[in-house]
């Protein structure tokens, strides 16, 4: 029903920046909110940021507040995650996800659609 494709990951030194993109296709009119999650090896998938598709309200994990910014380009059905002041602990696979029901944004169970992930590696 909804397909999500992430891009923009890569290798960056600590203190650097990356911008991740997530392009949505299919029944995009059904999306209420988009979220970014990340998962490092041996760890659970954790919430990073979320945004309401239409209203634009944003949510951030405490660990990324002030460094990451989530935004949308609605005409292109795309959500972005601008990541600044990157730290080695930000290293993970980053996934975008879509929630059609407006549920609690910080838990992955709220999202019905997921992208394939994009690797972000931050070196010291």
Could you report the per-residue pLDDT of 100-113, keeping only the tens digit for each? 999 999 999 999 99
CA quadruple 11, 80, 59, 47: dihedral sign: negative
The pair of structure tokens assigned to 55 is 């209203």
Give pLDDT, residue 17.
98
- Mean pLDDT calculated for residue range 20-43: 95
Mean pLDDT of the chain: 96
Whether residue 19 has pLDDT greater than 90: yes
Provide CB contacts within 8 A for 85, sequence distance 6+. Answer: 15, 17, 67
Whether residue 75 has pLDDT greater than 90: no
Whether residue 83 has pLDDT greater than 90: yes
Give pLDDT, residue 56.
87
Give pLDDT, residue 29.
87
Whether residue 76 has pLDDT greater than 90: no
Provide CB contacts within 8 A for 121, sequence distance 6+. Answer: 9, 10, 11, 12, 91
């Amino acid at each position: 029903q909804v397909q999500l494709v992430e891009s923009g990951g890569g290798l960056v030194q600590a203190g650097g920046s990356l911008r991740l993109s997530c392009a949505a296709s299919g029944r995009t009119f059904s999306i209420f909110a988009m979220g970014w999650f990340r998962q490092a090896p041996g760890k659970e998938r954790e919430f990073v940021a979320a945004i309401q598709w239409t209203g634009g309200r944003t949510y951030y994990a405490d660990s990324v507040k002030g460094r990451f910014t989530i935004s949308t380009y609605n005409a292109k059905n795309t959500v972005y995650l601008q990541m600044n002041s990157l730290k080695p602990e930000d290293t993970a696979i980053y996934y975008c996800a879509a929630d059609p029901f407006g549920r609690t944004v910080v838990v992955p169970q709220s999202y019905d659609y997921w992208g394939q992930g994009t690797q972000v590696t931050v070196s010291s």
